[in-house]
A = this chain, B = another copy of it.
């Protein structure tokens, strides 16, 4: 649950429940397939709930559970660290790839 996509999804859902389509727009660079897998893993781990509303058209929402809420601070710190050190990571990756 600490992988890049999980960190982003948990961060975005920490502002409230969202539909798949909205989540897909707000998580930069994620494919629909990866978002589906990430949400399924988070649901399986008890971090997120998936609620389907019997409406026409059908509406499905994803929401952090209490367990997911308790992870928010840690995930935010990890996301912040990645943001703060992004340049160093990109530099390291370039050096590694051009060795």
Contact = CB atoms under 8 A, between A and B. Distances in A.
Contacts of A95: 46
A10 to B, nearest CB: 11
A81 interface: yes
Contact of A78 (B2, B44, B45): B2
A61 interface: no
Interface string A52-86: 00000000000000010011011101100110010
A88 B6 CA distance: 18
B45 A93 contact: yes
A22 interface: no
Interface string A10-54: 000000000000000000000000000000000111100000000
A93 B46 CA distance: 7
Interface of A: 1-4, 6-7, 43-46, 67, 70-71, 73-75, 77-78, 81-82, 85, 88-89, 91-93, 95-97
